[in-house]
Amino acid sequence: MAVAFPPDIMALSKVQRLYDACDVVFSSPGEATPSLGEIEWLRQLLDGMEAADVGIDDGEKQSSSAAADDELISPKSGRLLPALAFTRITYVHIHQCDDFSIGVFCFPAGATLPLHDHPEMVVLSKLLYGSVRVRSYDWVTAPPCSGAGFRGLARVVAADEVWRAPCEASVLFPRSGGNLHAFTAVTPCAILDVLTPPYSEEQGRPSTYFNDVPIPSLPGFAILEETDLPEDFSVAGAPYLGPELTVDMDDDDGYYDYDE
Ligand SMILES: [Fe+2]
């Protein structure tokens, strides 16, 4: 694929470079699913990002070029969301269009994002700081239809694996890589997510939550049962304070709606 970037691309903020790359890879009319090479390109861009690149102060001394890069071009730099201020799971919305979404889930220590799926989606995730315990599955039986009260067999991909920043960005696919996952924050942590395409009830891609029931006679597999979200669970929203993003005029920025 021919990619036309401006010659001063290195002057762009890292989040702008990520957005531009997503726009090229995911918004091309007529293109099928992205190639592994394109996914790897995006994964490497994510790997170069730190909390300060998306307007979050992780409490560590900012060593890297991250802040320096963005200070040159972002009038908003210096205003950061402090990681320790998150007292519940908080979503920082950066961008959403029909083709992809970019945002950050910020966790206080001990918080759990329950087991959920990503129907027909590719998701790239970068742990920006902290440690998080991950449990993930892929369907063995066919993925559920929306609202079907589904129950199915799934294969364990990660059983209580702990990610500790800095670590490589991960990728999940519709049928592999752990399309269903749950996160429990071991320490305060944040995960930068790129979802393509985004969740959409209208397009048949709702977010569905599951209970997992181990099968004693079949280690490495579990029955997943669709469930309602726990009543006491909610995700807060916080404003994005990172470098300003210049988006494709064709993109509509529909907000990914969470409880405030
Ligand atoms: Fe997820």
pLDDT digits (tens, 9 = 90+) for 110-165: 999 999 999 999 999 999 999 999 999 999 987 666 556 788 999 999 999 999 99
In this predicted model, what pLDDT tens digit does every residue of 91-115 receive, in sequence order? 999 999 999 999 999 999 999 999 9
Tell me, in angstroms, the distance from the centre of ligand 1 to residue 4's CA: 31
Q: Give CATH for domain 9-238.
A: 2.60.120.10
Which residues are CB-neighbours of 227 under 8 A, at least 6 positions away?
A: 209, 210, 211
Tell me, in angstroms, the distance from the centre of ligand 1 to residue 189's CA: 15
The H or E element containing residue 190 is strand 189-196
Tell me, in angstroms, the distance from the centre of ligand 1 to residue 116's CA: 6
**In this predicted structure, what is the pLDDT of residue 10?**
65
Asked if 74 contacts 84 with a C-beta cutoff of 8 angstroms, the reply is: no
Tell me, in angstroms, the distance from the centre of ligand 1 to residue 71's CA: 31
Q: Would you write out the chain's pLDDT as a tens digit for each of its 260 residues?
A: 445 555 566 689 999 999 999 999 998 666 567 899 999 999 999 999 999 999 999 987 544 444 444 443 344 446 899 988 899 999 999 999 999 999 999 999 999 999 999 999 999 999 999 999 999 999 998 766 655 678 899 999 999 999 999 999 999 999 999 999 999 999 999 999 999 999 998 888 989 999 999 999 999 999 999 999 888 899 999 999 999 999 986 655 544 444 44
Tell me, in angstroms, the distance from the centre of ligand 1 to residue 10's CA: 30
Please state the domain extents for the chain: 9-238
Tell me, in angstroms, the distance from the centre of ligand 1 to residue 42's CA: 17
Strand partners of residue 238: 92
CA dist., res. 16 & res. 193, Å (int): 15
**In this predicted structure, what is the pLDDT of residue 256?**
44
Query: Tell me, what DSSP letter sits at residue 130?
Result: S
Tell me, in angstroms, the distance from the centre of ligand 1 to residue 118's CA: 7
CA dist., res. 208 & res. 101, Å (int): 18
Tell me, in angstroms, the distance from the centre of ligand 1 to residue 113's CA: 8
Tell me, in angstroms, the distance from the centre of ligand 1 to residue 68's CA: 31
Tell me, in angstroms, the distance from the centre of ligand 1 to residue 1's CA: 29
Tell me, in angstroms, the distance from the centre of ligand 1 to residue 117's CA: 7
Asked if 185 contacts 193 with a C-beta cutoff of 8 angstroms, the reply is: no
Could you give the strand order of the β-sheet that contains 122-129, starting from the edge strand earlier in sequence? 170-172, 122-129, 189-196, 101-107, 90-96, 236-238
Tell me, in angstroms, the distance from the centre of ligand 1 to residue 228's CA: 16
Provide the phi-psi class of 23: left if phi over 0, else alpha when psi is between -120 and 50, else beta. Answer: alpha
